[in-house]
Amino acid sequence: MLGPSKQSDDFPYWLVLLGGVVAYLGYQVVADDLYSQVLGTLAKGIKITVTVTLIGFSIASALGLGLALMSTSRSIIIRQIARFYIEVVRGIPIIVLLLYVAFVVAPGFVALVNWLLQPFDAELIRTRQFPLLWRATMALAIGYSAFIAEVFRAGLESVDRGQIEAGHTLGLNRWQRFRYIVFPQAIRTILPPLGNDFVAMVKDSSLVSVLGVGDITQLGKVTAAGNFRYFETYNVVALIYLTLTVTLSLALRRFERHMRQPDQD
C-alpha cells in the first residue's frame, strides 16, 4: 500500500484527462453556434449560483462555529441543544429541508413578524414578498451549518489541552485562550474539510432550481425544454459546474499544501 507522501507525488493523469474533456467542450462552445447560445443563456445563472453559495456558506460557517462552541460548553443544557439541532438537521435530506424552509419556515417567520408588528400598526408583510432566492439560501445555510459544526468541533478538540491549561495559568480568560491558543491551531485542521464543504455547496446549490430560482441548473432546464437539445444543453451545464468545482478543488489543495509547509520545515 502506498503511503500518503507517495500518493501525493503521483502525476495527475486524471487532471490531464479532465482537461482534455473540458478543452473539447470548450472548443464546441467556440465553434458551435448552439453551444455558444446556450452558454450565453446559462451565464446569467452563474451569478445566482455564486451568490447563493457565498452567502449561504458564510451564514452556515457562522452558525457552525456557534454550534461547535455550544457543543463544548460547560453547560449540559447548551450542549444538548446544540446536539439536538445538529442531529435533526443532519438527518433531513437537503432537498426536503429546502422545501420545508421555503414553504413552512418562511411563511411561519412572516406570520411571526406580522404578529409582532400588529401593536405598532405597521404595514404587514406578505409571504410572497419573501423572495425564493433568500428562502433557498437560508435552507442551504441551515443544512450545512450542522455539518460544518462537526468540522469546527473536531478541530477545536484537536488542540492539546495542556496548552489551554497553560494559557489559563498565565491569566488568560476563556475568550483570550480561544483567540490566541485554540483557534489559530484548530484552523489548520479545520480548513481542508471546510473547503470540501464549500465545494459541495457549489454543487448542492443546484437544488435551488426546484424552487424556480434562476441558477445554472434552472436555466439549463428551461433552455433544454425550449430547444429540445438536451445533449448540448446539459453538456454546457456540466462544463460550468466542472470548471467551478475543479478550479476550487485545485486551489484548496494548493492552499492545504501551503498550510502544511511549516510542519515539514
Residue 4 lies in a domain: no
Residue 200 lies in a domain: yes
Give the separation between CA 28 and CA 37, rounded to whole angstroms: 11
Task: Give the C-alpha distances (Å, rounded to integers) separating 78 from 65, 68, 81, 197.
Answer: 14, 11, 5, 25
Residue 5 lies in a domain: no
Residue 201 has pLDDT above 80, yes or no: yes
- Nearby residues of 220 by Cβ (< 8 Å), 6 or more positions away: 42, 45, 233, 234, 236, 237
Residue 170 lies in a domain: yes
Residue 75 lies in a domain: yes
Contact 79, 149 (CB under 8 A): no
Total tally of structural domains belonging to the chain: 1
Average pLDDT, the chain: 85
Residue 9 lies in a domain: no
pLDDT interval class at 110 (50, 70, 90): confident
Give the separation between CA 14 and CA 172, rounded to whole angstroms: 49
Please give the model's pTM, rounded to 2 decimal places.
0.84
CATH number at residue 154: 1.10.3720.10
Residue 2 lies in a domain: no
Q: Which residue has the higher pLDDT, 163 or 242?
A: 242
Mean pLDDT of 48-65: 94
Domain region containing 238: 14-264
- The size of the chain, in residues, is 265
pLDDT interval class at 1 (50, 70, 90): very low
